[in-house]
Amino acid sequence: MSQLPFLPFSKPVIDEATIAAVGEVLRSGWITSGPKVQAFEAQLSAYFGGRPVRTFNSGTCTMEIALRIAGIGPGDEVITTPISWVATANVILEVGATPVFADIDPLTRNIDLERLEAAITPRTRAVIPVYLAGLPVDMDRLYAIARRHNLRIIEDAAQALGSSWNGQRIGAGGDFVSFSFQANKNVTCSEGGCLVLNTAEEVRLAEKYRLQGVTRSGFDGLDVDVLGGKFNMTDVAAAIGLGQFAHIEALTAHRRELARHYFKCFGDDFEATYGAQLPPADFSSSNWHLFQLVLPERADGLPARATFMEQMQARGIGIGYHYPPIHLLSLYRARGWQEGMLPVAERVGRLIVSLPMFTSMTKDDVERAVAAVKAVLRDA
């Protein structure tokens, strides 16, 4: 149908300087964890106000390691949101704890903090909030709840690099903060992640969990006293991260401009006219990792999202969806979760879509995407 080039949902952009830097690493003979990893960690630490940071090969193991450092395990409960990538809940199972889901706020689509507090029991040890699309939860309320109930917080800030709360960067404060550098993130290493920590002892444990529990001493001393894994970042990945991270402020500003243009193109009457829900218009806190709509249900009962995605693709526009409700996946149904338990998350998870949003997008691309959305919804 479309004669224009296909507009993907997401597209990583790696500049020539970064490509050259990767080539230098490959020629250096040191391609696993080394000086580039150390340089990347130093830059991240400076960005987060001097807090200690360690990098890893994913933004999933970062959360698992934070749980292990916090001593979370069998018999413990960890509260999280059902609208996230399944890794957020899987890491709770990995350490032997029990995931507990609290429903989401219908406007922000993040965990509802009132429902979170209501879900706390004597077994609750930690909370993993998720900053969907880069929008933080109310950090003041979150940490007030944590203090009242003596809980650890592992912030799943996978999508929130460059986001802030009341002028403070996400990661510059709080407890454990986990970021992802996966391929579609605002800053990518192709794959990777980092964990912002609090104390020297937590850093020591993170380093051991990162590489088989190993502690080295002298020329040939080696001991293992905890069960670690193989989670280290390579210098190849770190070189990509350094090249990307150099542009973090410009990348974030550009995404905010794209988001503003989305709102301008949709117009003030979009929700009333088309029945779809726009995201919160937050241009100070969110890094606009994603621009998401919640679609209206179709009057004919057909699957609204699948039909919408198919028709958008026919118009040359790629669409993603983030995410199906975790508690309705088979792994979690087998643990007692079922339809009707988290109604807001179930509705949003059934109808949410992510529109194109990436670094090299232009305002013309936004206009194409919005025109296609309106055409598809008008014809539904």
Phi (first) and psi of residue 66, to 5 degrees: -60, -45
* Same domain? 174 vs 319: no
CATH assignment of the domain containing 43: 3.40.640.10
Residue 2 belongs to a domain: no
Per-residue model confidence as pLDDT tens digits over 45-81: 999 999 999 999 999 999 999 999 999 999 999 999 9
**What is the mean predicted confidence (pLDDT) over 148-167?**
98
Given a cut of 60, whether residue 354 has pLDDT beyond it is yes
Given a cut of 90, whether residue 11 has pLDDT beyond it is yes
Given a cut of 80, whether residue 86 has pLDDT beyond it is yes
Residue 9 belongs to a domain: no
Give residue 299's pLDDT. 84
Domain termination site, one of 195, 227, 245:
245
CB-based contact 230:222 (threshold 8 Å): no
CB-based contact 152:175 (threshold 8 Å): yes
Q: Where are the alpha helices (DSSP H) in 50-138?
A: 61-69, 87-94, 113-118
The pLDDT confidence band at residue 369, using thresholds 50, 70 and 90, is: very high
Q: Cis peptide before 323, with omega less than 30 degrees from 0?
A: yes
Residue 132 belongs to a domain: yes
Given a cut of 80, whether residue 32 has pLDDT beyond it is yes
Residue 222 belongs to a domain: yes
Continuous segment of H or E residues that includes residue 80: strand 77-80
The pLDDT confidence band at residue 3, using thresholds 50, 70 and 90, is: confident
> Which of 96, 82, 88 lies closest to 156 in space, CA to CA?
88
> Which single residue is written with the structure tokens 């960005």?
47
Residue 77 belongs to a domain: yes
For residue 296, the tally of other CB atoms under 10 A from its CB is 16
* Same domain? 145 vs 257: no
CATH assignment of the domain containing 282: 3.90.1150.10
Q: Cα separation of 2 and 50, whole Å?
A: 49
Residues 6+ apart with CB under 8 A from 31: 25, 234, 235, 236
**What is the mean predicted confidence (pLDDT) over 19-39?**
97
The pLDDT confidence band at residue 261, using thresholds 50, 70 and 90, is: very high
Number of compact structural domains in the chain: 2
Range of the domain at 157: 16-245
* Same domain? 297 vs 233: no
Domain termination site, one of 222, 245, 268:
245
- Residues annotated as part of the active site: 185
Amino acid at 51: R
* Same domain? 370 vs 313: yes
The pLDDT confidence band at residue 300, using thresholds 50, 70 and 90, is: confident
Half-sphere exposure at residue 221, Cβ-oriented, CA atoms within 13 angstroms: 4
The pLDDT confidence band at residue 149, using thresholds 50, 70 and 90, is: very high
Mean pLDDT (the chain, rounded): 97
Given a cut of 80, whether residue 1 has pLDDT beyond it is no
